[in-house]
Structure 1
C-alpha cells in the first residue's frame, strides 16, 4: 500500500503542478482513490489529528473569506489606494512604494489573493490617470503581498498549515515572522527604483489629475465599514488573546464571520460569493493524500533520510529547508508543498533538543515557502490571480516578465533570511 500511496500522491501532485487538470479535481481525485483502495479510512481521513483533514485550517479560511466578502462592499481598499496616490503627490515611484506597502500590510491580515483582487483595479485606475504602464506596479504589488503575507498566521495559506501542524499560536507566529518581514520589506522598497527602472516618468498634467481624485467617494457604505472595523478588531483581539481566551483561531474567525453576517444585513450571495469553495475542497483532498503518506510511514522514512543527510545538525537542516522550500515553492504551488513537507519537518524538529533550534526549522519552512512563491509566475496563487487580472484588463504580463523580477526578489529575500535565522535561533538563542 505504501507504493500505491506514493504513486497516487506523485501523479496528483504532477497534475496540480502542471495544471493539466483543475487542481481541486486532482486533489479530490487522489483522495478518493486513497479512500477507495483502503489505504486510509473515514476515521483516519476525517477525525485523526495526525493523518486527517485539518478542520482548523478549513474553517479559519472559511471564516476569513466571509469576513472579507462583507468588507469588499465597503470600498475601503479603493479608499486606501486613492489616498496613497494623493499622498505621493503624483510621483509614480512614491505611488508604487505606498501601494506596495499598503498591499503588504493588508496581506498580513487578509488573504493575499483577496488583497490583490481588491487593490489591482484601483492600481490600474491610478496608472491610467498617470499614463504609466500598469504592469510594473501590479508585479510589485503581488511581490509585496507574498512578503507581507508571511508576517501572520492568517496572511498566507501555508502559514495556517504550518501553525496547525506545529501547534503555533497567532502570537508566536507574529513575534517570530514579523521582524524578518519588516526587514525584507525595507530591502524590497530600496530595490524598487532599480528593479523597475524606466517605469516612473509622469506627465505633470497627469499628476495634477490624480490630485483631483476624491478618496472619500470610494467608501460606498460607511455604516458597514464601522461594523466591519469593530468585528475585525474583535477577531484580531481573539487571535492575539489565544492563550487567555483558549479559543482556536478557526473558532474566532467563525464567530467573527457569524456576527458580521448578522449585523451587516447583506444577502447571503454577497458574502458567500466570496468563499472560494474550490480552495477549501482542494485543501481537504490534499490533507487526505498527505495523511496517507504519514499513515503508511513514508514521511517518517523521509525524515530519517533527511536527518542522515544533515547529520542531525539543526543549522544545516534549517538552511537546507530554507533553500529547498524557496526553490520548490517557486516551481509548484506552495500550498501542496507545505502540506506535504509539514509532517517531515515535524519529525525532524522532534529530534532536536534545543527548542529554539527546533523552531527554526518551522520558520525556515514558512520563510522559504512564502518568499519562494515570488520566484515564478506560478509560485503562489496571488501571482496567478494578478496575471489573470492584468490579461483581462489589457495590461498583459508574460510569464518571463514576472519571473525575471521575481527571481531577483526571491534571491535577495532568501539571502537576507539566512543570516537572520542563524543569528536569531542559533547565535542569540544559544
Structure 2
C-alpha cells in the first residue's frame, strides 16, 4: 500500500466519521472529501466526474418532479382520508392500510418522498382519533423501506445497483418483490403485538373520521386526471425500458417533462 492509498483511506474514514456523528453537515463532509481527493491528485477531476451515476440522479430528479406536481392535485390527501373512512375509524385497520399504501407508493414513486407525503396526513388522522402517532409513523417508516427495496426505483441504492449491474425494473420486482411482501406481513404482525394496546379509539372520534369529505381534498381535477395517466405511462415505461433500450432515468425525466408541459403549474416552484 503506497502513500496515496493511505491518504485516500484516511480521508474516507474522516468523512465517514463526520457523516456518522453529524459533527459536520453530511453534504459538506462528502463534498469536502471529494474535493480533497481531487486537490491532492489522488483522483483526476475527469475521472471523478466519471464516477457520478447520472442515471440514478436522473431517476430521482424525474420522480421527485412528478410527485411535486401530483401532490398539487390533492391525490395523496384523498387516498389518506378515503382509506381512514373505509376503515371506519378503526385504528388498527388504518395502521395496516397506511402501511400498505406507504409500501406501494414507496415501490412506485420514491420512499423518502412518500413518507413526506403520508406523514402529515397521518398526524391529522391520529390527532382526530386522539391517538399517539408514533406507532403509525414507525410502521410507515418500516413499510417505506421495505416497499422501496422491492423495485428498481423505490430506493437510490436500488437504482445504483440496477444501473451498474444492468438489472431492469422487472428483475427487481420478481426477485426482491416477493421477499419484501413477506417481510412487510411479518413486520405488521410484530407491530400489532407491540402496539395493540395503544390503538383503542373512542366511538365519538370514529364519527369525526366518517364525517370527513375526501372529495374536498381534490384541488385540481384536470391535473389529477393528467397525473394518473402520466404515472401509468411512467410505470409502463419502467416495466418495459430494458426491452425498449431506454435508461430508467430517460423514462422518469420524460414523464416529468410531460407533466411540466401539460400540468399548468408554476414550473419554478415545482423545480
Same fold (TM over 0.5): yes
Question: Corresponding residue for 1:5?
Answer: 8
Question: Corresponding residue for 1:38?
Answer: 41
TM-score, scaled relative to structure 1:
0.61
Preserved CA contact (<8 Å) 1:69 1:270:
no
Once the two structures are superposed, what CA deviation does each residue of 1:291-317 show, in whole Å capped at 9, x if it has no partner? xxxxxxxxxxxxxxxxxxxxxxxxxxx
Question: How far off is 1:189 after superposition?
Answer: 2.4
Q: Distance in 1 between matches of 2:192 and 2:67?
A: 32
Question: How far off is 1:190 after superposition?
Answer: 2.0
Unaligned runs of 5+ in 2: none
| Matching of residue 27 in structure 1 with residue 47 in structure 2 | no
Question: Corresponding residue for 1:183?
Answer: 182
Question: How far off is 1:165 after superposition?
Answer: 2.1
Question: How far off is 1:81 after superposition?
Answer: 0.9
Q: Distance in 1 between matches of 2:99 and 2:242?
A: 33
Once the two structures are superposed, what CA deviation does each residue of 1:142-180 show, in whole Å capped at 9, x if it has no partner? 111111111111111111121122221111111111110
Question: Corresponding residue for 2:204?
Answer: 205
Unaligned runs of 5+ in 1: 273-430
Question: Corresponding residue for 1:135?
Answer: 134
Question: How far off is 1:92 after superposition?
Answer: 0.8
Q: Distance in 2 between matches of 1:243 and 1:119?
A: 31
Question: How do 1:60-209 residues align onto structure 2 when only pairs under 5 Å count?
Answer: 60-209=59-208
Once the two structures are superposed, what CA deviation does each residue of 1:331-378 show, in whole Å capped at 9, x if it has no partner? xxxxxxxxxxxxxxxxxxxxxxxxxxxxxxxxxxxxxxxxxxxxxxxx
Q: Distance in 1 between matches of 2:196 and 2:17?
A: 37
| Matching of residue 242 in structure 1 with residue 241 in structure 2 | yes
Q: How many residues align?
A: 268
Moved over 4 A (4+): none
Question: Corresponding residue for 1:55?
Answer: 54
Q: Distance in 2 between matches of 1:137 and 1:188?
A: 13
Secondary structure of the residue aligned to 1:148 is helix
Question: How far off is 1:42 after superposition?
Answer: 2.6
Which structure has more RCO (C-alpha within 8 Å, separation ≥ 6)? 2
Q: Distance in 2 between matches of 1:18 and 1:75?
A: 38
Question: How far off is 1:244 after superposition?
Answer: 2.2
Secondary structure of the residue aligned to 2:82 is helix
Question: How far off is 1:185 after superposition?
Answer: 1.5
CA RMSD of aligned residues (A): 1.2
Question: How far off is 1:270 after superposition?
Answer: 2.6
Q: Distance in 1 between matches of 2:258 and 2:56?
A: 20
Once the two structures are superposed, what CA deviation does each residue of 1:254-306 show, in whole Å capped at 9, x if it has no partner? 1111111111111123311xxxxxxxxxxxxxxxxxxxxxxxxxxxxxxxxxx
TM-score, scaled relative to structure 2:
0.95
| Matching of residue 260 in structure 1 with residue 263 in structure 2 | no
